[in-house]
Amino acid sequence: MGCGCCSHASTEKDTLRVTIVGLENSGKTSLVQCLKTSKKSRQTSLCVSTHGVISINIQTNMNFLVFDCGGCKHQRHIWPHIMNSPDVILFAVDSMDLTCLNDAREALSDLLVDENLINKPLLVIFTKSDRENKLSIDQLEQTLDLSVIKDRSVHTVLFSSVTLEGLTTIREWLTYFSYRKLQGKDMNISTSERHRLLHSLNLSTA
């Protein structure tokens, strides 16, 4: 699988390594573009799938090196191998597409057992929140069985690349873990820190 674009992977303390995964069409690449440009996406029917992994440098107040992985079924088994030792994981779920939620739950639970990803903080991003008839965040969290994940920090947020709802929260979540990395602190935060983060960033948790 083509992955030649990430050979310059940085291990610097001031760069947070962020991997974004999720099923095909769940809105990962659109989110990465919003993180990079802060601009709303224009909705198009043209859908360009990502093949392999693309690395993108994003510099705001902090440096993020984002790995955007293709989500189609035949690429999922290679996610753990192409993730390039992430510090944190973003998992995108289409909040409109009810038919794919079971698949998303399985893909997530398969991913999290990988030994290289143990304890890595997880932000589950429910995308396309601008669409009508989406499921509520509670329904989405329950269907994905997020409450069974006990070995790491798990937060959830609604996001739309069309309205930019949730973008600031996602940035702040990434910034929080960037500071921890910079200060050499453990990324596996305590329960009280999880709650503090939850309230300060207006996140949700399973």
Ligand X SMILES: Nc1nc2c(ncn2[C@@H]2O[C@H](COP(=O)(O)OP(=O)(O)OP(=O)(O)O)[C@@H](O)[C@H]2O)c(=O)[nH]1
Q: Which residues are annotated as a binding site for GTP?
A: 22-29, 71
Binder among 3, 6, 24, 198 for ligand X (CB under 6 A) = 24
Which residues contact Mg ion (rule: CB under 5 A)?
28-29, 50
Nearer to ligand X, 27 or 121 (CB): 27
Reduced 3-state DSSP string for the chain: CCCHHHCCCCCCCCEEEEEEEECCCCCHHHHHHHHHHCCCCCCCCCCCCCCCEEEEEEECCCEEEEEEECCCHHHHCCHHHHCCCCCEEEEEEECCCHHHHHHHHHHHHHHHCCHHHCCCCEEEEEECCCCCCCCCHHHHHHHHCHHHCCCCCEEEEECCCCCCCCHHHHHHHHHHHHHHHHCCCCCCCCHHHHHHHHHHCCCECC
CB of 89 to Mg ion, least distance (A): 16
CB of 150 to ligand X, least distance (A): 27
Interaction of residue 19 with ligand X, rule CB under 6 A: no
Which parts of 107-166 interact with ligand X (CB under 6 A)?
Answer: 127-128, 130-131, 160-162
Binder among 19, 27, 141, 152 for ligand X (CB under 6 A) = 27
Which residues participate in the annotated binding site? 22-29, 50, 71
Which parts of 158-197 interact with ligand X (CB under 6 A)?
Answer: 160-162
Which residues participate in the annotated binding site for Mg(2+)? 29, 50
CB of 82 to ligand X, least distance (A): 13
State the residues that interact with ligand X by CB under 6 A. 22, 24-30, 41, 43-44, 47, 49-50, 70-72, 92, 127-128, 130-131, 160-162
